[in-house]
A and B are shown apart, each in its own frame.
Chain A
Amino acid sequence: MGTEMRLAKGGRIDRKKPIRFQFNNRFWSGFEGDTLASALLANHVCLTARSFKYHRPRGIMGVGIEEPSSLVELVGDESCGNLPITTVPIKEGLKAKSVNCWPSPERDLMSIAQLFSGLIPAAFYYKTFKWPNWHLFEPSIRRAAGLAEAPVRPISAGHYETRHDHYDVLIVGAGVAGLTAALRIASAGLRTLIVDDGPEPGGMLIGQSIEIEGSPADQWIAGTVDELSGYDNVAWLQNATAWGYREQNLVIIAEKNPDQPMLHIRTHRIRAGKVIIATGAIERSLVFSHNDRPGIMMSSAIGTYVTRYAVKPGNRIALFTNNSSAYSVARELSVAGIKVAAIIDSRLQIGDAEGFIDDETRILTGHEVTTTFGRSRIRGIRVRDRTTGASQRIDCDLLGVSGGWNPTTHLFSQSRGKLEYDSDLEAFVPGVAAQDCICIGSAAGKFTLKSCMEDALLNAQSVLRQLDTSAPASLIPSCSPEPEYAIQALWSVRGKSGYESRSFVDIQNDVTLADIQLAIREGFDSVEHVKRYTTAGMGIDQGKTGNINVIGAISAQLGVLPQDTGTTTFRSPFVPVDFGSLAGNREQSVSLPYRHTPITQWNREYGACMYEAGARWQRPGYYPRPGESFQQTVNRECEAVRYHVGIYDGSPLGKFEIKGNNALQLIELLYTRSFSSLKNGMGRYGIMLTDDGLILDDGITFKLGENHYLMSTSTVHADEVYRHIEMLLQIHRPQWDVRITPVTTQWSNATICGPMARELMAALGTDFDIDSEAFPFMTMRQGNVAGIPARIFRVSFTGELSFEINVWSRHALELWKKIMQAGKAFDLTPIGSEANHVLRVEKGFLSLGHEVDGTADPYDLGMGWIMSRAKADYLGRRAIKIRRSAEQPRREMVGLLMDDKDKMVDENAPITPEGKPLPSEGFVSACVWSVVHNRSIALALLSNGRNRIGQKAFIRMKQEVVQAEIVEPCFHDPEGQRLRS
C-alpha cells in the first residue's frame, strides 16, 4: 500500500515512519517527509481536484507554493481551506478533501458545467446577472464556483502568535544563493536572519545529482548549514514563508509548526537593515489545447518528486519545453533509472550540451504539443512539426511542461521595486529597488548554479560594503558543468478550431486564451484591465505559473512586446495566510483594546450593562433593575438626576496639565474664546477647532496658577486632542515653552448631580464651604471629601447642580463606596451613559459624534458667542471666515418636537422637503424620551434651521414620514439657573 509509484531507494523521506491519512474519505499511506501531493502520487492518485469554474478534472501540477491546480481543505482539528496540496505535510490523522467538487473529484455533479463552458466566458456573470441585482445570484454562483468553506470553529489545539524582531540583514530563501550569501554575511558578524519556506534548507538543490566542490550537492548544503549554525549572530526560521513586504523594510513571515508546541502559526514582523531576496524562480506553464489534464505537470516538479520524495509521477513520460532546463530534469530522471519517452522542444535548434539524454529518449526539436488526450488522466499527446505541420500521437501518462522560468520577484514587487523585461530570459527581472533590498541568484535571473553562486557572493560583498563592514574573502565553489540557460518564447500553441477556449493561461482561475482575447476585443487591453476582467493572476496562486503567459497572450494579441505590456503589481500575501495568523494574539477578549476605570468592576457587580462608549472605555450604559425595560431604566435614572440626585463615573474624560511660559498662548491659540481674563481656581468652557474651522473638541479648562492650566477634553477625543497639541507644539510652535502632561488616569472622577447634590456633599463631609456663593459655578476647590484629598469642580454636563469630585485613582473606589453609602438617605442613583445622553439632549448640549459630526462649526450649533472677536487669532478662525463669506445656507442645530409626542425617530434619519425622496436638508442627530416633558424630543442639524423655528420638518423613516415642529434646541432650563444653583 502506498508504494505503487514509490521508488525503491532515494528521496528525503523516512521509510521507517509510515503514516496513514485520509483523502476524500479514503485511507492512504505515506512516509514522514511526504507532502499530501507526494504521498498521493506515490499511491498513483492522479485526479485530485476539479477546476474552479468549469469543474474540469485536475491533478497535481507543481511541487510547492506555486501549485495552481489542486487545492485541498483540511477537516477536523486543524480545519483550514484552500491549501495547495503540495504544501500540506502528511501526519497521522490528517484528513483532507478536494475543493471545487461534490461528492468527489471522480464524480463531481457540477462537472456538467463543462457542457456549457462556451456559454460562460469571462465576465459572463457581470453581464448576465444584472437584474434585479447581482446579490440575488451571488450566493448560488459562489457556492457553485467552489473553493473551501471557512472553518466553522477555530483550530482546536494551539493558537496564533505575532512577534517582532530586528536584524541587520534578512535573507529570504535558503537555496544555493541564500546559503552562499548567508555565509558571507554571517562571517562579518552582522545580525542575520535566514528564512526558508521548505521543510529543510537547500531549495531546488536538494537531492540533485550535481556536485559542488567535488561532493554531492546535499553534502554542500549540510556543510553550509553546519557552518552557519556555528554563528551566534545567525538566526534561522525553517518552514517559514515571507509573504508580505511593507514599508521601511518590514517583512512579514508566517512560521508553521514553530518550536513552541502550543503555537499553530507564529507570525514574525521583521525589520531589517537590508533584505536579500533569494527566493529562486518559478517554472511556468505552456499554453496549448487541453493543457490542464491530470498528469500534466511542471517539468521541474517531476524532477523534485523523484529526487526528494522518491516518487515516480508517471510510467511513460514526455516533456514539452521551450528552454534548456527540461533537459536537466530528463538527466535527473535518467540517473534515477526513469526513462523519458520524448522531449518535444519548440526551438528549432538546441545546444550540444543540452541535447543528449540517453539512447531511449527521442528529442523532437522544432515540435510542439497541439493537444492532449485522456479524461481523468492524460493518455497521449498530439505533436506537430512546427516547420512541416506534420503531426503524430505519442502515448504517455505524464507530460512535463516547461515554459521557462520566472524570477520569484513577488516580494521585490511588493516592496514597490520596478520589474524590467529581460528579452534573453523572456521574463521579468528585478529592476530599480524602492527599498533597501536586493535580489540574488535565480530571483535575479541567474538560472545556472555557478551564476547563482557568483551573484550571491558579489551581492553579499556589496551589502557588507553598504553596511560599512567586511568579511574574510571567500571563493566561489566549483560546480558540475551545466549548459547555459537558453529559451525561445512560446506564448501559445495554435491548435484546431476553438482551441483557444481549451488552452488555459491561468489554470487556477480557469482563464483561457479565448478569455484574454475576449477581454481585448471588448476594450480591456491593459494588463491591469485584463486581470480584472478575466481574474487571470488573481486567487490563491496569484499567477505564479501563469501570469507571464497572460502577458505573453496580451502582447501577441496586441502585437506588442511583453515589456510594453508590462506587469500587474504583485500583492501580498505571497502565499495563502490564515486569518488567525493575521490576527496573531488578538483574539477573543483582546480582539479590540479595552480600558477600565477603578469603578468598572463595581459597576459590573452592581449589574450595569457595560459597553464601549468611546475611546475604548468600557462604561456602564445603564443599571437595570429586575423587571425593568431599557426605557424604564433610563427614565428612572434621568428622573433621579432631575428630581433627586444621581452619580456617574466621569473618569474617562480627558485631562491634561499644561504648564510653561507660553501656556496661555497655547490655550488662546487652541480655543475660540479668550482665557486671558481667567482667574486662578476658575474654569471656562471652550471649543477647539481643526485647521479647517470645524469643531474638534470641547471642554472646560481651569486655571491652576500663572501659566498653569488643567484642560479637560471629551472622552472620545482625548487622544486626538493630545496629538493635536503635540503636533502644534513640536511642528508649528517649537519655540514655545509649554509642557503638557496627560493625567486622565491619575485622577478619577465621581460626579454627583441633581437638586440634592449639595446635601449629599454635606453628608459626605468636606473641609471647604460648598455654599453656592462660596463655591459658585465654574470654580474649583482643593480639599477633602469624605476624608479623601480631592479636586472638586462645579461644572455640569446634565444641566443640574453638579460636583465633579476628582481624586487620585487609588482612592476612587473608596470614595465611590462612601458616596453610595451616604447617598442611601437621598435615594442616590448611579446613572449610565444612556441617561447622560438624554439629560444632555434635554439641555441641548452638543455631543461629539452626534451634532459635532465633522462638518459643524460653532455658529452652526448656535454658539457664535464663543467665537472671540477680540483675540488676534486662533486655529480655524480664517477657515470659518472664508467659508462663511460664501453666505451659503448651513445646517444648523435645532430642536424637534414630533407631532405625535410618543413617536421616537431614528438617529441619523434624513429630513427632506415635505418628506419626499429628495436630497436631504438635514438629519436627526439625537432622539430621546424626555422625562421632564414626558414626551419624545430630538435634536437635528437642519439647513437654515434657526430661521425655520416654528415651521415643520419631515423626517423620513424606513416605513413612514414623521412630521415634527422645529423648535429651539434647549428643552430644559434654558437660563441655566439649575446648574448654577
Chain B
Amino acid sequence: MTYRVELLRQPVFAVIDLKGAEPDLKNWIDSPNVIFPSRPNSRTHFDGVDLFWIGEERWLMRADLDQEDRLMDLTRLERAPVHISIVLVSDALTFFGISGPDADQIIKIASPLDIHPTVFPCDSSSYTEIFGIKGLVIRNKDGFEIAVESSYSDMIDDFLRRATA
C-alpha cells in the first residue's frame, strides 16, 4: 500500500509579491474587498483571491491566471510608490496540490515544518524547506499546497512521485 494522496502540479497562477508596511499597502490598494490576514503565516480568501502573510511586511496575492490583469489593476504595481514594492511573480512560482488522507505524511517527508493541526491549522502558510529547497507550504481543508521557485518544479515533481511510489 502506498500513501493515499493525490498530487497535482497546478497551472500557472497569477501571483503578486507585496512588500511594505501594512497600512501603506492598504492605503495604496484602497479596496474594501481586500482583507489582510490578521495573524502571521496565515491567509485570507476573498473574491477569488488568496492573500498570504508570509513574512515581516511581506505578502503574496494569488488568483487564477485569468485574473492576473485584475490583480495588476487592483495593486497598480507599475505605479506603486517607492516605499512599497509590488512585483508580479506569477511565473516565478510553481504550486503543487497534495490532498488525501495521507497528505500530511508527504509534507512531513518534504519539509521540516511542524504541521501539527494545533500549530499549523487550516489556512496557515509558511515559507520553509521543501526537499531542501526554499518553498511555501499552505494547509487547505483537504490537504496542502506547496510552492517552489519554478526552476525547481521538475525536481520537486520528481521527489513527490518518488515519495509516493
Contact = CB atoms under 8 A, between A and B. Distances in A.
Interface stretch (B26-34, B46-54, B144-152): B144-152
B80 to A, nearest CB: 8
B154 A596 contact: yes
A315 interface: no
A661 interface: yes
Contacts of B20: 739
A657 B87 contact: yes
Contacts of B17: 741
B82 A809 contact: no
B159 A590 contact: yes
Nearest to A657: B87
Nearest to A600: B154
A745 B151 contact: yes
B83 interface: yes
Nearest to A589: B158
B83 A260 contact: no
A743 B2 contact: no
Contacts of B89: 741, 743, 746
A585 B154 contact: no
Nearest to B3: A260
Contact of B155 (A595, A743, A746): A595
Interface in A587-618: 587, 589-590, 593-597, 600, 617
Interface string A261-304: 11000000101000000000000000000000000000000000
B3 A161 contact: no
B140 interface: no
Nearest to A663: B82
B76 interface: no
Majority-rule SS of B interface residues: mixed
B111 A164 contact: yes
A775 B105 CA distance: 55
Contact of B132 (A593, A707, A737): A593
Interface string A733-767: 00001010111111110000000000000000000
A706 interface: yes
B111 A742 contact: no
Interface in B103-145: 105, 108-109, 111-114, 116, 119, 131-133
Nearest to A597: B151
A600 B150 CA distance: 13
Nearest to A161: B109
A661 B83 contact: yes
A585 B87 contact: no
A55 interface: no
A743 B151 contact: no
B12 interface: yes
B85 interface: yes
B85 A742 contact: no
B88 interface: yes
B45 interface: no
A162 B82 contact: no
B131 A746 contact: no
A817 to B, nearest CB: 17
B163 A745 contact: no
B92 interface: yes
A262 B165 contact: yes
A810 interface: yes
Given A164-B112, A262-B165, A744-B92, A590 B155 contact: yes
A218 to B, nearest CB: 32
Given A260-B1, A585-B159, A706-B82, A164 B108 contact: yes
A708 interface: yes
A659 B85 contact: yes
Contacts of A585: 109, 131, 159, 162-163
A191 interface: yes
Interface of B: 1-3, 12, 17, 19-20, 82-85, 87-92, 105, 108-109, 111-114, 116, 119, 131-133, 149-155, 158-159, 162-163, 165
26 contacts: A159-B162, A163-B108, A164-B113, A165-B114, A166-B114, A166-B116, A260-B1, A271-B114, A585-B131, A585-B163, A590-B131, A593-B132, A595-B151, A595-B155, A596-B155, A660-B82, A660-B85, A661-B83, A705-B82, A706-B82, A737-B83, A741-B19, A744-B92, A745-B92, A745-B149, A745-B151
Top 4 A-B pairs, shortest CB-CB distance:
A739-B85, A809-B91, A166-B114, A595-B151
Given A159-B162, A657-B85, 9 more contacts: A585-B109, A587-B162, A593-B152, A596-B155, A739-B20, A739-B84, A741-B87, A742-B92, A743-B92
